[in-house]
Amino acid sequence: MFYRLLFASLWYILPAYIANASACVFGGGTPLDLGKNFVDGRRIIGDGVTYKGSVFGIVCGTLVGLIQGILVDSNVFNSLDFYGTVLDHVILAFFLSTGAIVGDAMGSFIKRRLNIERGKPAPLLDQLDFVIGALVFGYLVAPIPHEMIIIICLFTVFIHLLGNIIAYKLGIKDVWW
Amino acid sequence: MFYRLLFASLWYILPAYIANASACVFGGGTPLDLGKNFVDGRRIIGDGVTYKGSVFGIVCGTLVGLIQGILVDSNVFNSLDFYGTVLDHVILAFFLSTGAIVGDAMGSFIKRRLNIERGKPAPLLDQLDFVIGALVFGYLVAPIPHEMIIIICLFTVFIHLLGNIIAYKLGIKDVWW
């Protein structure tokens, strides 16, 4: 029962994960805030969130939704009983991906207002900004039970920390966070 | 229905709020980590979490639970249908308060590991560390529905932000966070 809920949670949020990762991998170029400053004299969002990354993120995340829809539609996962048609999946994935990008930008916006530089850690906010954005946007088209929201948040923080520690041990990252 | 859930959530977490506030007000003196450093050469927890504050926090939070128990027992809130006896309230409040102190210490431990100085902001972690600790400890003796967990977390971040902005506008704080 718990594993089914865990799988359903990760299946639901997967497009947001892919959108967030793709935005990072395919980032660079013009930043979303066009380099402009906010009223406090600091950057609105910063160089971390770009047009190229955002578009690639939303496209890749939505494509994952298309694949999910086809898999469910062809009964590969015949135990998954939610999110009817392929189009439903694509629409949901588009909302989740867009929410992930917006959430990430909001997180950077908050960090700039608190005068935390890009790359400096903001525990919980760094890991959860894109997930919170995705959950809010996703909730508009496909609301999920509250326990799935909690599972998604806890799993995201856990897997983020685990990934960073592994990258640190492998010498890919200089710091463990 | 929602307001009832909101009230039940705040009623539940109240001892943790009081414990956290009391620990801050009655802080000072010997820090919990005795000034010692961790293996990374930085302080284990820091000067922010003290023995005096922790004891006062747990005592004040538990006293609030006693008052809650008496109010419920005397049917002042006759619509509140959970947490039976006065002793049940006191035990729950002791767990919530202890969890709040432990959560706060854990939050400071994480900030020190990430090399974030005391007083420097760590959005979400700063607001939620004591609440997460209280929820974990409280769950051991009186589990609550998942939606109450979400309400408590959202409300805490919201009220924290609101309080800081008001303090900033009144000139009590130098920064709005």
Q: What is the DSSP string of chain B?
A: -HHHHHHHHHHHHHHHHHHHHHHHHT--SSBTTTT-B-TTSSBSS-TTSBHHHHHHHHHHHHHHHHHHHHHHHTTTTTT-----SHHHHHHHHHHHHHHHHHHHHHHHHHHHHTTPPTTS--TBHHHHHHHHHHHHHHHHHS---HHHHHHHHHHHHHHHHHHHHHHHHTTS-SS--
Query: Could you report the per-residue pLDDT of B78-137, keeping only the tens digit for each?
Result: 555 566 789 999 999 999 999 999 999 999 999 999 999 988 999 999 999 999 999 999
Say if residue B19's pLDDT is above 90: yes
Which residue type, as a one-letter code, is found at position B144?
A: I
Of B121, B125, B150, the CB nearest to A150: B150
Residue B80 has what pLDDT? 59
- In this prediction, residue A84 carries a pLDDT of 78
Q: Using the beta-carbon criterion (under 8 Å), do A123 and B146 form an inter-chain contact?
A: no
- Identify the CA nearest to A19 among candidates A109, A117, A129: A129
Q: Choose from B110, B111, B112, B114 for mutation: most chain A CBs within 10 A.
A: B114
- The answer, for B10 touching chain A at a CB cutoff of 8 Å, is no
Residue B175 has pLDDT above 80, yes or no: no
- Smallest Cα–Cα separation from A100: which of A142, A65, A148, A61? A61
Q: What is the dihedral of CA A149, A150, A156, A161, to 10 degrees?
A: 170
pTM above 0.95, yes or no: no
Asked if residue B52 lies in contact with residue B28, where contact means CB atoms within 8 angstroms, the answer is yes
CB A112 within 8 A of CB A45: yes
Which portions of chain A are predicted below pLDDT 70?
77-83, 177
Q: Which of B122, B124, B147 sits opposite A146 (nearest CB)?
A: B147
